[in-house]
Amino acid sequence: MFNIAMISRWHPHAMENRYVNQLKDIPDTKITCVWDFDTERGKVWADELNADFEKDLDKLLSRADVDGICITAPTDMHKDIIIKAARAGKHIFTEKALAMNYQEALEVKAEVEKAGVKLGVVFPRRANREYLYAKKLYESGEFGTVALMRVRNAVTINAVFEEHWFKEEPIGGGGAIRDLGCHNIDLACWILGEPDEINTMTGFTRGFAVDDTGVCNIKFKNGAVAMVDSSFSEPLSNNWYNFEMYGSKMSFIADTKTVTIIRNGDTGKIVSDKEVINIENLPEGHKLPIAQWIDACTNGGELVCDIDAGVLVNRVLDAADIACREKRTVKI
């Protein structure tokens, strides 16, 4: 049995019990206890989960019936919680972003590697079959030379996001780029490789202290350019996530339901009709991040959403901040 402690119901994904529900489908796992900096909220959650509530985080981390922790606390608490857990020998699964900045991420990485524990980060796009399919096509050379990738995600602001990400002192680390955009940045880096430079623009249309809209242009060392944009200012729709990738031999366009492929051949001219594939008919994707993490902890399985992914995203986010603030292109 792999015993897990839930760390704070602050994050909206914890409010909706996303990881609690995912754990129900994973055999031989059990939630044994809960900690929250909001004591009353934590007690209520523990009662719902039929688990113990621990007011003292250090005491929780000393428990023999805790093998790993699932962190859904504010981003500005991640570093301290992760380091404490690593030193206590506990495996760690954490919401993104890994840390508030690149320096914190490096400190976390050092402690985790020193302790020899497994750390997984919530980058669920890596588990999706459409993006895994695009990555495999790219790595097999079927795209030819990739010129451009576009990744977009957008939702509408609601009371939960106002409370969590749009305060004057954002405990979530920032606005649309850091919360939504980190998924886009991770996806681009996962497929295209090492980023080289970035420029950034943000929008503050809702009058909050942090960005509600942001666009980053990232150039990669292989010459490809990724345009990633994120917004909390768009009404919810059935097509809130879009992905496009254009190479010398192939174009690949995905929304939330289908993938469209157009093959250009070596001539650059279209040599086939477009192929539209229902995403459900693509090859299976990876396990969900939390399932990957548990498999890595218990069986030595592959952890695609690992600590290096989290560190790289923090590095890119820091460069994006500088690029926006100083209105220039910045080396990553």
Position 236 confidence tier, pLDDT thresholds 50, 70, 90: low
Q: What is the mean pLDDT of residues 196-221?
A: 91
Query: How far are the Cα atoms of 85, 103, 262, 271, 286 from residue 145, in angstroms, in the given order?
Result: 43, 34, 15, 17, 26
pLDDT, tens digit (0-9, with 9 covering 90-100), for 113-149? 999 999 999 999 999 999 999 999 999 999 999 999 9
Pairing status of strand 91-94 against strand 68-71: parallel
Give residue limits of the domains in the chain: 2-124+288-302, 125-286+314-331
Residue 272: both structure tokens together: 């086939």
CATH topology of domain 125-286+314-331: Dihydrodipicolinate Reductase; domain 2 (3.30.360)
- Same fold? 2-124+288-302, 125-286+314-331: no
Q: Is the dihedral of CA 297, 303, 308, 312 positive or negative?
A: negative
pLDDT at 1: 97
Position 67 confidence tier, pLDDT thresholds 50, 70, 90: very high
Average pLDDT over the chain, rounded to an integer: 92
Position 179 confidence tier, pLDDT thresholds 50, 70, 90: confident
- In the chain, what is the straight-line distance between the N-terminal and C-terminal CA atoms, in Å? 42
Q: What is the mean pLDDT of residues 165-184?
A: 78
Separate counts of helices (H) and strands (E) for the chain = 12, 15
Pairing status of strand 91-94 against strand 119-121: parallel
Position 324 confidence tier, pLDDT thresholds 50, 70, 90: very high
CATH number of 2-124+288-302: 3.40.50.720
pLDDT at 268: 56
